[in-house]
Amino acid sequence: LSGSSYQLKWPSVVLSKGKRIYTLIFRRVGGSTKVPELHELPLKFDAIKSQFGDIYIAWRKKREAFGSGFFYYLSTKRDVKIYVENHFSNLIQGLESFHRTKYGDKPVSGALQEKIDRIVAQIGKSDDRRWIRGKLLHACEPSLAERLIELFTALPIGVDHELLRKFATTCAQLRNDIAHYGGLRSRTASASFLRDTSLKNEVIGYLYHMILLNEIGLSDHAVKVWTGNNLEGMVYRHYLVAIGFIEPAGTK
């Protein structure tokens, strides 16, 4: 909820029907993150305190249901340094996992199945027919770019859908380059590669955070406020402007 890896103090608990107060200590990675400043917090507790219990319960249930779709985002918020490319890959892989869990496998449409049958029927050898059917088994499965587009464009942030579509497509291409080539496919040295990828990390992390908060029950209004000309949206708006999604404040 805070968008920070800052760790609260160990919690105090009272056992059922007991009176003694205990300090609950559990295994966690130590952190040195400072307390977030007011302008760094995407949400204020006063704005969600009436529904905090429901949000917390939803978080625990959804975290188990979505698994890596939640955990990959959390991995990028730990107070641990990772390479820019690994950070990017974790974000994209988490979003892909989230989409697969949320929407599941889509059945092959009747028109597509007819097209597959028509193509296969033109092949003479039975071994070749079995091979091509295997290759076309997942023909209707959305691409990574299509998955990202569906997730990003569903957000209530007022960003032009065509811009989000282009951004999602670029992110999918970069993830494939990193996964299969260890970097840019062209192998051309680019002084701006790390800078550009780092900027994408900030924007994707921001959008990913929105997606998860929407999923656990925060309203569209609570999410959309991040992009406004206000204290809550200051940090996030900076990256949306940098990536070209929205105009700087005061621009007509």
Task: Quickly list DSSP for 189-200.
Answer: --TTHHHHHHHH
Range list of β-strands (E), the chain = 12-14, 21-23
Average pLDDT of the residues in 60-88: 91
Our measurement of the distance from residue 62's CA atom to the centroid of its chain's CA atoms, rounded to an integer in Å, reads 14
CB-neighbour burial class of residue 42 (10 A; exposed 0-12, middle 13-18, buried 19+): buried
* Distance of alpha carbon 93 from alpha carbon 205, whole angstroms: 12
pLDDT band with cut points at 50, 70 and 90 for residue 239: confident
- Other CB atoms within 10 Å distance of the CB of residue 48: 17
pTM: 0.81
Phi then psi for 12, rounded to 5 degrees? Answer: -100, 140
Strand partners for 12: 23
Mean pLDDT estimate for the chain: 84
